[in-house]
């Protein structure tokens, strides 16, 4: 039974509408609305509560989530975030602070920001942090602007930034947005920075190198101290892309590896779900001699009173309105305090152990990209499977039928048919074993029925979508289906 709601006609008893209040009639604006969006009447179904509950529960079950299924995309995209941290960020006193509120009234919140900075300095070896950037890429930009400002101030401007070919795409994008020429160094066959190549390209015109360690192949740059020497001898900086800090927390700090500027994605490693693009914090840390260049304001303390400090001598200025995404800081702080130093280290150890377990169990079925022990993630090349007619994209689609989210594929770019698995620290051995057996089963299916892969997944309400068409001409209309 449908109740009809009359729209676009005068409704008896209705006194005013938003449009009336604005002094506009519907007739005035009707001409600007495409005909297909105009309705004479809207039909709302009239249903019992139970039917409504079932409708929404069943809809929610179509949702694929880290709370229900394994996500081999790892901390980079969506590791499991403890619910407690959400509860703490939801505390009314945190959530209802206004950014213009008087500093005297938000001393607790400022203390949290200040203390989080101190804790992250302890974890990374840096001297000071800024939490203004809303994403890793934005922190990279701020970090390179700082490096550029430092060189310029010393009348020593430079034109090159060095980036390994395995780098995340934001690194070269950031460097070129800052006006630098990007010089790419190739990786060795083992997947590490080629240090001999590096020493040939580093010169007096080099501003910095941007590095991820472990790199995007999940490998630890063993010669990081040599790399640091080469750069520092030319008075160039080492920028650490610590978007993903899972494997090293509490084990080794970036300062000891020779890094001068780093960013940590609090929304990746430190407990903020960030699917669909936000909110995030790119925490930017610097060594002592770059402290005065950070974006303002930073939170400082004087006579036990916390305040926003705008007086940094060489600040690059603001990179975002207000003080960044404060509630993300609450979650990060809660996460760190709950784990403590030992707990952070255990996160790192388990994230590495889990990835190594998967690598050992699958390396005879899929080609591991490196013979070296991996850190928090393992990259396979599905070239062999491709030769048998099944692409890595199709393998990823088939995994959905096993209740597993597709992993990252075709990245890093230097690996053919790359399939990257980052299990993270929170997954149990049972879950890892389920993934391993799914991957083995898929590999034998490839040998016996490769045709099948053209149509996978089989178990989802929407099967194969034309991803290119979906991206180029999205059709966002709601369509009524069925009877
Ligand atoms: C995610 C990521 C970035 C970018 O971070 P955003 O918050 O998405 O801007 C940079 N580098 C690496 C290695 C990453 O994993």
Nearest CA to ligand 1 atom 14: 243
Q: For a pocket test of ligand 1, which of 138, 175, 244, 377 has the largest count of ligand atoms closer than 8 A to its C-beta?
A: 244
Q: For a pocket test of ligand 1, which of 134, 174, 241 has the largest count of ligand atoms closer than 8 A to its C-beta?
A: 241
- Spell out which residues line ligand 1, taking CB within 6 angstroms: 76, 135-137, 168, 170, 212, 241, 243-244, 265, 280, 282
- The Å distance, Cα 220 to ligand 1 centre, comes to 18
Of the listed ranges 17-31, 169-183, 242-256, 330-344, the least confidently predicted one is 17-31
| pLDDT tens, position by position, 257-282 | 999 999 999 999 999 887 666 789 99
Tell the burial category of 111 from Cβ atoms under 10 Å away from its Cβ (0-12, 13-18, 19+).
middle
pTM of the model: 0.86
Q: Which atom of ligand 1 is nearest to the CA of 267?
A: 7
Tell the burial category of 63 from Cβ atoms under 10 Å away from its Cβ (0-12, 13-18, 19+).
exposed
- Of 63, 76, 75, the closest CA to residue 427 belongs to 75
- Of 176, 164, 141, 179, the closest CA to residue 210 belongs to 164
Nearest CA to ligand 1 atom 6: 136
Predicted pLDDT of residue 202: 98
Percent of the chain whose pLDDT exceeds 70: 94
Q: For a pocket test of ligand 1, which of 177, 219, 268 has the largest count of ligand atoms closer than 8 A to its C-beta?
A: 268
Residue with tokens 């994008």, as numbered in its chain:
173
C-alpha–C-alpha distance, residues 333 and 337, integer Å: 6
- The Å distance, Cα 456 to ligand 1 centre, comes to 30
Inter-CA distances, 458 with 53, 395, 435, 466, Å: 27, 13, 18, 16
Residues 6 or more apart from 148 whose CB is under 8 A from it? 157, 178, 179, 180, 207
- The Å distance, Cα 141 to ligand 1 centre, comes to 12
Q: What is the CA radius of gyration of the chain?
A: 26
Q: For a pocket test of ligand 1, which of 141, 242, 243 has the largest count of ligand atoms closer than 8 A to its C-beta?
A: 243
> Does 10 have pLDDT greater than 50?
no
- The Å distance, Cα 136 to ligand 1 centre, comes to 5
Note the Cα 157 to chain centre separation in Å: 32
| pLDDT tens, position by position, 172-222 | 999 999 999 999 999 999 999 999 999 999 999 999 999 999 999 999 999
212 with 243: CB under 8 angstroms? yes
- The Å distance, Cα 455 to ligand 1 centre, comes to 32
| pLDDT tens, position by position, 27-59 | 888 888 888 888 888 888 889 999 999 999 999
Domains of the chain: 3-46 (no CATH), 83-339 (3.40.640.10), 347-470 (3.90.1150.10)
Predicted pLDDT of residue 5: 41
Predicted pLDDT of residue 64: 84
Predicted pLDDT of residue 109: 96
């Amino acid at each position: 039974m449908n109740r009809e709601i009359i729209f676009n006609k005068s409704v008896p008893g209705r006194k005013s509408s938003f449009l009336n209040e604005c002094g506009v009639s519907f007739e005035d604006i009707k001409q600007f609305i495409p005909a297909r969006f105009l309705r004479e009447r809207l039909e709302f179904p009239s249903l019992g509560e139970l039917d409504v509950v079932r409708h929404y529960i069943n809809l929610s079950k179509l949702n694929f989530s880290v709370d229900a299924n394994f996500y081999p995309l790892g901390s980079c995209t969506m590791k499991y975030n403890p619910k407690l941290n959400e509860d703490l960020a939801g505390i009314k006193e945190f959530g209802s602070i206004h950014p213009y509120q008087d500093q005297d009234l938000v001393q607790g919140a400022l203390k949290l920001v200040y203390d989080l900075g101190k804790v992250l300095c302890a974890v990374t070896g840096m001297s000071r942090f800024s939490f203004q950037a809303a994403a890793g890429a934005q922190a990279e930009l701020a970090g390179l602007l700082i490096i550029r400002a430092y060189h310029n101030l010393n009348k020593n401007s430079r034109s090159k930034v060095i980036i390994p070919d395995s780098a995340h795409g934001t690194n070269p994008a950031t460097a070129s947005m800052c006006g630098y020429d990007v010089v790419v160094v190739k990786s060795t066959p083992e997947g590490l920075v080629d240090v001999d190549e590096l020493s040939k390209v580093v010169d007096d015109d080099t501003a910095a190198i941007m590095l991820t360690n472990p790199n995007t192949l999940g490998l630890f740059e063993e010669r990081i101290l040599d790399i640091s020497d080469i750069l520092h001898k030319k008075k160039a900086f080492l920028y650490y892309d610590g978007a993903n800090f899972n494997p090293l927390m509490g084990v080794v700090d970036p300062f000891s590896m020779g890094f001068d500027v780093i960013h940590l994605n609090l929304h990746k490693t430190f407990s903020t779900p960030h699917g669909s693009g936000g909110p995030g914090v790119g925490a930017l840390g610097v060594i002592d001699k770059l402290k005065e260049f950070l974006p303002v304001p930073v939170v400082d303390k004087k006579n036990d009173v916390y305040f926003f400090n705008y007086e940094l001598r060489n600040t690059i200025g603001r990179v975002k309105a207000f003080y960044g995404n404060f509630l993300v800081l609450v979650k990060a702080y809660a996460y760190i305090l709950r784990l403590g130093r030992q707990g952070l280290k255990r996160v790192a150890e388990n994230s590495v152990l889990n990835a190594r377990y998967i690598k050992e169990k699958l390396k005879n079925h899929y080609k591991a990209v490196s013979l070296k022990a991996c850190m928090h993630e393992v990259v396979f090349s599905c070239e062999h499977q491709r030769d048998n007619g099944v692409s890595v994209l199709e393998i990823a689609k088939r995994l959905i039928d096993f209740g597993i989210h597709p992993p990252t594929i075709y990245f890093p770019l230097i690996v053919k048919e790359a399939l990257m698995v980052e299990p993270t620290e929170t997954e149990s051995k049972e879950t890892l074993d389920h993934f391993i057996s799914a991957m083995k089963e898929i590999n034998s299916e490839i040998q016996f029925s490769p045709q099948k892969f053209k149509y996978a997944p089989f178990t989802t309400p929407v099967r194969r979508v034309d991803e290119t068409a979906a991206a180029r001409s999205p059709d966002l209309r709601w369509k009524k289906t069925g009877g």
